[in-house]
Amino acid sequence: MGGPGGVGKTTVAAALGTQLALEGHRTIVLTVDPAKRLAQALGFKTFSSDLQNVPLPHTQESKLFASMLDTQRYFDKVITRFAGSEKQKDKILNNRLYRIMVESLGGSHEYAAMERLLEFAKDSSFEKIVVDTPPSQNALDLLDAPQKLANFMDNSVLRWFQKTKTPFSLFRHGTKIAIKLLEKLFGNDFFKALAEVMDDLEGMHTGFRDRNLEVIQLLKSQATGFFLVTYPSEVRFTESLDFIKALKEKEIPLSGVILNRIEKEFPKEIPPSIELPKQEREEIEKVLTYRSELVAQQQYWISQFDSNLNKIPQIKLEKRSGPIHDLETLSQIGKKLVF
């Protein structure tokens, strides 16, 4: 499930998962940032990333499972897996800088989501895994995350820092102010901590790389389907075409494009038979005009999607009146997604 923030990825992922489970598949929804009430509907009492069974109404043995992505915890797990020894693991996990790096590393949420997918995919007791994607600025972040991480590990500037180890040689290069600033931000032992974390991450390259390859293989495989959640507007249309192109270049199959929040047709004016004070009539007419312009705009962009997507299946979901956080509504939406 991919697409820009706010278009409905989390909702659509939850809807698809709920419906798949209701139809008898043992399903995991890996959700990233559900709104509070949706999280409650999925049974998350506290924010926990542990896999849990979600009770479904009128169902004795629910086949729906949910998990919440916790990037920091997940990176800790990855480090634990790749670290050469218990000592090395503890050293990294206790390094303050490592925490900051995970937080600030672009694409770390995406990477964690892909990692978790890989882990679930290896568990054969589950038939379907629906992965929500993190709220990135750009939908392409998801596809670039593994490469970005690999680049980060190879980053020559960091390697140079690592080699330098002490700030003294840098002082000679006239970067005193920058260093002072960094040390102000991160504490006096910034360089020591940086050198340490780079030393410790060294040797984990192969581990990261192999996992990246596995993730990419899984994304490309027949078992995976990618849905793009988007909205009928000019910005989203252009962005969607770029995204579809990028998927194609990476040979990742696209299962469908979901156009979400489509406005229902609405009367354009108040029938003359309805009597209203002039001012009220004018105010309501303003709203109706706005609505009908929005509908017309959406219809135009829907037709653009129609004529440009060729054979890619499209699913159109209407805008509902309120936020979506009950399993009944999720299942109704889900029915449109399972085909």
Q: Which residues bind ligand ADP (CB under 6 A)?
A: 5-11, 35, 135, 260-261, 317, 319-320, 323-324
State the minimum distance, in angstroms, from the CB of residue 233 to ligand ADP: 14
Distances (CA, A) of 167 to 92, 190, 277, 332: 21, 9, 77, 61
Taking the complex as a whole, how short is the minimal distance between the CB of residue 337 and ligand ADP, in angstroms?
Answer: 12
Q: Which amino acid, 35? A: A
Pick one of ligand ADP, Mg ion, none as the site partner of residue 8 (Cβ within 5 to 8 A by kind). Answer: ligand ADP
Out of 23, 33, 119, 199, point to the residue binding Mg ion (CB under 5 A): 33
Nearer to Mg ion, 9 or 116 (CB): 9
Q: Which is nearer to ligand ADP, 33 or 76 (CB)?
A: 33
Query: What are the backbone angles phi and psi of residue 74, rounded to the nearest 5°?
Result: -70, -40
Q: How far apart are CA 315 and CA 307, in angstroms?
A: 14
Tally the C-alpha atoms within 13 A of residue 51's C-alpha that lie toward its C-beta: 15
Is 240 one of the binding residues for Mg ion (CB under 5 A)?
Answer: no
In the complex with Mg ion, the residue whose CB is nearer, 49 or 212, is 49
Contacts of 79 (CB under 8 A, 6+ apart): 89, 92, 93, 98, 204
- Please, what is the minimum distance in Å from the beta carbon of residue 291 to ligand ADP? 15
Shorter beta-carbon distance to ligand ADP: residue 9 or 128: 9
d(C-alpha 128, C-alpha 235), whole Å: 32
User: By CB under 5 A, is residue 230 in contact with Mg ion?
Assistant: no
CA distance 76 to 84: 14
* Residue placing its CB nearer to Mg ion in the complex, 10 or 212: 10
Segment contacting Mg ion by CB under 5 A, of 1-9, 103-111, 154-162, 274-282: 1-9
- Per-residue binder mask for Mg ion (CB under 5 A), 9-28, x = binder: xx------------------
Nearer to Mg ion, 79 or 140 (CB): 140
> Which option in Mg ion, ligand ADP, none does residue 129 bind, with CB closer than 5 to 8 A by kind?
none
Contacts of 25 (CB under 8 A, 6+ apart): 63, 127, 128
Report the C-alpha gap between 228 and 240 in whole angstroms: 8
Nearer to ligand ADP, 8 or 146 (CB): 8
Residue 170 beta carbon to Mg ion: minimum distance, rounded to whole angstroms: 42
Q: In this structure, which amino acid lies at residue 205? A: H
Please work out the total of residues on this chain that contact Mg ion, with binding judged by CB under 5 A: 3
**CB of residue 256 vs ligand ADP: minimum separation in angstroms?**
16
CB of 154 to ligand ADP, least distance (A): 32
Does the protein bind Mg ion through residue 199 (CB under 5 A)?
no
Closest distance between ligand ADP and the C-beta of residue 82, in Å? Answer: 30
The token pair at 246 is 């990028």
Q: What amino acid is encoded at 141 in this protein?
A: D
Closest to ligand ADP by CB, 195 vs 317, is 317
Angle subtended at Cα 264 by Cα 263 and Cα 267, rounded to the nearest 5 degrees? 120
Q: How far apart are CA 219 and CA 310, in angstroms?
A: 22
| Start-to-end C-alpha separation, the chain | 16
Instruction: Give me the sheet containing 314-318, strands edge to edge.
Output: 226-230, 254-262, 314-318
Contacting positions for Mg ion (CB under 5 A): 9-10, 33
